[in-house]
Amino acid sequence: MNFIVVGCGRVGAELALRLYKSGHQVVVVDQNEASFNRISPEFRGRTVWGETLRQDVLERAGIQNADGLAAVTNSDTLNAAVAHAARKIYKVPVIVCRNYDPRLRGMLEAFGLQIVSSTAWGAQRTEELLTSVSSRAVFSAGNGEVEIYELVIPDSWAGRTWDELCPGNAGTLPVALTRAGRAILPVSDIKFESGDVLHVSATFDGIKSLRARLGFGVEA
């Protein structure tokens, strides 16, 4: 597939290398020629130096035939403008836009773009690692708005059910229950046993409430 990476900072350089090593055709665009020095010598794709919003620069990068574009500069306004042009003018089918400043995320969402906010996601994950000693996130969707968590059922909840643990679901849904090495799809009235491994899909507020009900100390 043909991909364009706009912005050759640390994120762009790493992304370009990963796409290239996965067998794709990759073009990196940046207005600072020295930025291309960040790319690993293993990279054998193309680089295009020029103002990233100029039509001729984007067309030299092959945007007319691009299967996807990632706008990953450290300017949210530039990312939004490039991504919007790629979608509306060139009909690029897959576009991902980096959100650098969480305060400007609403602007990017207003364009209806697929957003990756490494700053917001990183802060949330750091908070979880600092405060969540009895559970952990094993999968993150979007920018961490919904994640799948793994929790171990404590002795105090043996014999009780999911309906008791999470009445009305309250921002959480059961995904799987593993007991003695065997996983099942949990039903609402299944009775927990001490040491069961429960996987739940939850929002950040939902998992905080669930941890509190399980009595996970500082996680409450």
State whether 103 and 190 are in the same domain: no
Out of 98, 120, 142, pick the residue that ends a domain: 120
State whether 139 and 171 are in the same domain: yes
The pLDDT of residue 131 is 64
Query: Does the pLDDT at position 219 exceed 70?
Result: no
Query: Does the pLDDT at position 211 exceed 80?
Result: yes
Predicted structure pTM score: 0.66
State whether 8 and 116 are in the same domain: yes
15-43: pLDDT as tens digits: 999 999 999 999 999 999 999 999 999 99
Out of 69, 101, 120, pick the residue that ends a domain: 120
Query: Does the pLDDT at position 220 exceed 70?
Result: no
176: domain CATH number is: 3.30.70.1450
Report the distance separating Cα 157 and Cα 160, nearest Å: 6
Query: Token digits for 102?
Result: 């969480």
Host domain of residue 64: 2-120
Out of 120, 137, 156, pick the residue that ends a domain: 120
State whether 94 and 138 are in the same domain: no
39: domain CATH number is: 3.40.50.720
| Spatial contact of 129 and 147, defined as CB atoms under 8 Å apart | no
CA distances from 143 to 2, 99, 107, 205 (A): 25, 10, 16, 15
80-129: pLDDT as tens digits: 999 999 999 999 999 999 988 888 878 777 777 888 887 777 777 677 65
State whether 136 and 112 are in the same domain: no
State whether 6 and 74 are in the same domain: yes
